[in-house]
Amino acid sequence: MIEIKQIFPDSRDAEIVSEINNEAFPPHEHIDLEAMFRMNEKSDADIFGFYNGGKPVGFIWTITNVHCVYVFFLAIDAKYRGQGYGTQAIDSLFRFFSDKQVVLDIEELDPSVENYAQRVHRKSFYLRCGFHETGRYTMFNGKRFEVLCNGGPLDTEGFMDLVLLIHELMPVYPGILL
């Protein structure tokens, strides 16, 4: 069973989280760890590390309000992928935030893109872990991202509050929910 620990700028594992972040996300989606920490200071955003036997295997960056938890980034270290850590991370996330709806967005399934198979695999993973489609989308850097959530129907108002807050703190992120 993996453990969740909050990561701070001076945490001994902050550098490992930064390396996982740099490897896991393409340049057009990437936000560096320092920018995440700056946003954490101005909002209810947090970075959590996922640990197995004291060893960091991944991380998650969330922003929360009374209703929702928005998973901004979730990544498992490349050397630990395919070993069940992602599923355990999602299970831990659902338990940790059991009083809130967990929402995330994934790259839209577009058969014309080079990494279409990877996108299909990612969506299938999240659906198996307890998320469901909402029929809604966000935008980032001109790309559409499909919104998935757990529990009942998407808490549109709660999630939109988070989208607008993120836009306020990071204007590059448009305050749009389609």
- Structural domains of the chain sorted by starting position, each given as residue range(s) with its CATH number in brackets: 3-169 (3.40.630.30)
pLDDT, tens digit (0-9, with 9 covering 90-100), for 88-147: 999 999 999 999 999 999 999 999 988 899 999 999 999 999 999 999 999 877 888 999
pTM of the model: 0.89
In terms of C-beta distances under 8 Å and separation of at least 24 residues, what long-range contacts does 26-34 make, across chains too? 28/141, 28/143, 29/140, 29/141, 31/72, 31/73, 31/170, 34/9
pLDDT, tens digit (0-9, with 9 covering 90-100), for 49-64: 999 999 999 999 999 9
- Nearest-angstrom CA–CA distance, 10 and 167: 27
